[in-house]
Amino acid sequence: MTTDPTVNTTPAEEPEPEPVPNLVVRPPVPPMLAKPVKAMPSQDGNLFYEPKWDGFRCIIFRDGDEVYLGSRKERPFTRYFPEIVEAAKAELPDKVVIDGEIVLPRGSQLDFDALQQRIHPAKSRVKLLSEETPAQFIAFDLLAVGEESLMEAPFAERRARLVELFTKEGGSIRLTPVTTDDGQAREWFEAFEGAGLDGIIVKPGDQPYVPDKRTMFKVKHERTADVVVCGYREHKSGPIVGSLLLGLYGDDGRLHHVGVAASFPMARRAELVEELRPLVADLGEHPWGHWAEAAQANVGQPAAGPSRGGQRVPGAVSRWNAKKDLSFIPLRPERVMEVAYDQMEGDRFRHTAHFRRWRPDRTPESCTYEQLERPVSYNLDDILAH
């Protein structure tokens, strides 16, 4: 993940051992991946196009009452999504392995912020969140059913077999739509973003399921924005720039943390330290200094969220790595850079932004949220009805 979500530091309860279903395809299985391409591949008679869902990649392994939710990094999701476990028992065949995405719908759109909050150490909190913000599973590949492995079968066959499993509408486990019409895929690419989706996945119909290999293609949105450089975090390898902290001004006139840029070669990271040295500021005079000082003074206390009094600031503790040091070197907010980004998640960049160029012609105060494009809203249920 590229965000800095914070986590409640309630002591973690001892997790129960994860069940490992005795299936013909057993966990862990790292999912098959997609490599990015700039343009939508045209139909060559063998391509399938799917919406790219914005959630947690997950493979469901079900063997009767035993259900295992495998993640991309082979860290099981089973304990965090008990409602998906129960849905798998109620809605899927007795023995099955299905690849897909855990998503969290809120109204007509996906809510990735709420989905991140589902990763919590306390079992009682997990249970409460599963009832207050239940997730769904979007299925898009079939790896095994019954005693038959489909790993070597071509995707066209796997998709046809997957469709056969979804004979009823609704439920918490849904089937992703697919088209073989590249024109339809281009329409989806533009329209579905309004429901929180972030592109199109293109799958060759003759390919087997190849774990952990980028044999598919993904087309994602890319836009640009001018942002203020507000600080940097050091790289794990030493005192060089790891990531630049980016800011935008809101209607309230305050500078909000909007994300990070980290797409720099190692040699360039060292050069940036020297280039930015004249801008290093005293923390107490920095727009985010009040938060950072408070965080340092409360080491060992429960971490607060990434917003202080309506101002978005860098998070305090990473939800994915509680030991990760998220302190930063403050810079006077004077330099502007243009970055490329794919989509927004609320008021921040969903993924790491990519440096495009410095903008000495822009003033920091001109870098506001007003410049950002907002996709036209689209109803999530309409996507699943295709």
pLDDT at 306 over 60: no
pLDDT at 3 over 80: no
- Judge whether 385 lies within some domain: no
Whether 52 sits among the annotated catalytic residues: the reply is yes
Q: Which residues contact 367 (CB under 8 A, 6 or more apart)?
A: 225, 226, 227, 228, 247, 248, 249, 336
Higher pLDDT, 266 or 296: 266
- How many beta carbons lie within 10 A of that of residue 168, not counting itself? 6
Half-sphere exposure of 148 (CA within 13 A, CB side): 7
CA 155 to chain centre: 25
Only one residue has tokens 């003759």, namely 206
| 283 and 149 part of one domain | no
| Window from 9-23, 324-338, 350-364 with minimum mean pLDDT | 9-23
* CB-based burial, 103-140: b 16+ in 10 Å, e otherwise: bbbeeebbbbbebbbbbbbebeebeebbeebbbbbbbb
In this predicted structure, what is the pLDDT of residue 326?
58
Q: Which two tokens stand for residue 210?
A: 């190849």
Tally of domains within the chain: 2
- Judge whether 166 lies within some domain: yes
Higher pLDDT, 74 or 175: 175
- Judge whether 10 lies within some domain: no
pLDDT at 79 over 50: yes
Q: Which two tokens stand for residue 281?
A: 């500021």
| 86 and 187 part of one domain | yes
| 325 and 186 part of one domain | no
- Cα separation, 344 vs 259, whole angstroms: 10
| 193 and 132 part of one domain | yes
| 230 and 295 part of one domain | yes
Length of the chain: 386
In this predicted structure, what is the pLDDT of residue 35?
94
| Window from 66-75, 228-237, 279-288, 323-332 with minimum mean pLDDT | 323-332
pLDDT at 321 over 80: no
In this predicted structure, what is the pLDDT of residue 301?
38
In the chain, the percentage of residues whose pLDDT exceeds 70 is: 84
- Judge whether 20 lies within some domain: no
Instruction: Evaluate the omega torsion of the peptide bond into residue 28 and state whether it is cis, within 30 degrees of 0.
Output: yes
Can you give the CATH number for the domain in which 209 is found?
3.30.470.30
- Judge whether 381 lies within some domain: no
- Provide the pLDDT confidence category of residue 15 given band limits of 50, 70 and 90: low
pLDDT at 193 over 90: no
In this predicted structure, what is the pLDDT of residue 2?
33
Can you give the CATH number for the domain in which 262 is found?
2.40.50.140
| 211 and 308 part of one domain | no
In this predicted structure, what is the pLDDT of residue 12?
44
Q: 219 pairs with which residues across the strands?
A: 200
- Judge whether 315 lies within some domain: yes
pLDDT at 66 over 80: yes
- Provide the pLDDT confidence category of residue 299 given band limits of 50, 70 and 90: very low
Query: Among 195, 220, 245, which residue terminates a domain?
Result: 220
- Judge whether 11 lies within some domain: no
| 191 and 234 part of one domain | no
pLDDT at 87 over 90: yes
DSSP result, 239-277: SSEEEEEEEEE-TTS-EEEEEEE----HHHHHHHHHHHG
In this predicted structure, what is the pLDDT of residue 19?
63
| Residue 24 contacts residue 161 (beta carbons within 8 Å) | no
| 262 and 330 part of one domain | yes
- Of 38, 52, 213, 218, the active-site residue reads 52
| 244 and 173 part of one domain | no
Q: Which domain holds residue 215?
A: 33-220
In this predicted structure, what is the pLDDT of residue 280?
94
Mean pLDDT of 136-162: 98
Q: Which residues contact 85 (CB under 8 A, 6 or more apart)?
A: 67, 69, 78
Q: Which two tokens stand for residue 288?
A: 């985010």
